[in-house]
Amino acid sequence: MAAARDFYEVLGVPRTASQSEIQRAYRKLARKHHPDVSKAPDSEDTFKQVSEAYDVLSDPDTRKKYDAFGPDFRRMGEDIDPEAFRRASRARQGRARSPSGAGAGQGFPADFDLEDLLGGMFGGARAGGRAGPGRWGPIPGADQETEVEVSVDEAYRGGRRSVTIQGPEGTRALQVTIPAGVTDGQRIRLAGQGGQGSDGAPAGDLYLIVKTAPHPRYRLDGRDIYVDLPLAPWEAALGTTVAVQTPDGEAKVKVPAGTSSGRRLRLRERGLPNPRGRPGHLIAEARVTVPADPSPEERRLFTELAAASHFDPRR
């Protein structure tokens, strides 16, 4: 029988990985190996391994047992103290056996402290023992994450707002600062606002995953802002300068003569700001439009243009 793979190896994370790192690794691998997505013949087995590894490592208590006992963690009783077991294992490694000692003659090395191991099972009644059965010591709270929707204007300017969080502890309202220039998928860290720790251990962090709300005028691609630029046929043909609205106010766009629908006109560094570098751009996409109900004079002029022009847009 093949040896069980290390759960950290399955997820591709170090043993020091945070809860958020474990969660990100799981999501990435689950999307890649899900049997409904992957065509690989072993995708179902791989997906099951990834899911099992995440189930164990995402729970702080189960992870602590796995770190202490390894593949045998499920066979260990709830009252066995992982720290005592870890100390006993270290003492056992590389040391010669001796006829003396608490575990001698019972399959244990001489310096294996059997009382230390079993102390956790019986409440740690001996002097210096732990205070209660199964006590593992303070456990820091788990990191948590939730999605927060921001408008394009908030992404551009930033600001402070209230965010309602649903969690195991119930509903919380937090005052959150949205940094100027946040982009889709960016994480905003709120230190100490995650899961509660036990026995006085610190709480985890809360990560807000930014999702930009749809806007009737703007579309975002990273830090670039796209906006439609409606043009009359003569403006597109002859060229002009028109005003366009941006999140920072009105800007002027120079339209070259001969502009067709779909042409992109860039206003440099008028997109989302970037706290660590150059801002994005504002991209105005030309949309040539015609009168839906032309007047008699407009119809006459269009008819004259059609007769005089040799332009064929389909050639």
Separation between Cα atoms, residue 117 and residue 77, nearest integer Å? 12
Same domain assignment for residues 180 and 204:
yes
Domain for residue 99, yes or no?
yes
Number of domains in the chain: 3
Tell me the pLDDT of the chain averaged across its residues.
Answer: 82
Is the pTM above the cut of 0.75? no
Domain final residue, candidates 212, 235, 267 = 212
Same domain assignment for residues 176 and 191:
yes
Same domain assignment for residues 276 and 224:
yes
For the four alpha carbons of 23, 26, 32 and 38, in that order, the dihedral sign comes to: negative
Same domain assignment for residues 207 and 230:
no
**What CATH number did the domain enclosing 84 receive?**
1.10.287.110
Domain for residue 91, yes or no?
yes
Domain for residue 165, yes or no?
yes
Domain for residue 38, yes or no?
yes
Same domain assignment for residues 263 and 225:
yes
In this prediction, residue 166 carries a pLDDT of 78
Domain final residue, candidates 67, 86, 119 = 119
Tens-place pLDDT, residues 39-91: 888 888 888 888 888 888 988 888 888 888 887 777 666 656 666 666 656 65
**What CATH number did the domain enclosing 194 receive?**
2.60.260.20
Q: Which domain holds residue 224?
A: 218-308
In this prediction, residue 139 carries a pLDDT of 78
Which residues are registered as beta bridge partners of 198? 139
Residues in the chain predicted with pLDDT less than 50, given as ranges, are 1-2, 96-135
Q: Where would I find the beta strands (DSSP E) of the chain?
A: 144-150, 159-167, 170-178, 187-190, 206-212, 218-221, 224-231, 240-246, 249-255, 264-267, 282-288
Same domain assignment for residues 174 and 105:
no
112 — alpha (psi -120 to 50), left (phi > 0) or beta?
beta
| N-terminal to C-terminal alpha carbon distance within the chain | 69
